[in-house]
Amino acid sequence: MGTDKKQGWKTTEFWLNAVGLVAGLIMGSGAFGDSQWTQLVGGIIAAVCGTSYTVGRSMVKGREALGAAHVEGEVVKKSQPPKQF
């Protein structure tokens, strides 16, 4: 895994979720028929796609923030002289 970071909209994860979200919205709108089940499933698909992308990106951003905090903490430790007891 490389260290190159992509913007969210440039990732495959974003585009797969966008396609799923649009497909779910189309199904939920009744374009595939007036069945309540089709509309319900479409709404569920749209909700799951939107939620999964948001949770996934939040986890990535959280890990990046923790990594940055760890690195900054190491820099501070190295710049301070050791404590004398």
pLDDT digits 0-9 by tens, 17-73: 999 999 999 999 988 888 899 999 999 999 999 898 888 888 888 887 777 666 666
Q: How confident is the model at residue 1 (pLDDT cuts 50, 70, 90)?
A: very low
In contact, 41 and 29? CB cutoff 8 Å = no
- Per-residue confidence (pLDDT) for residue 76, from 0 to 100: 56
Q: Which residue's structure tokens are 């479409």?
A: 42
pTM above 0.85, yes or no: no
Find, among 22, 20, 21, 40, the residue nearest to 30 by Cα. 40
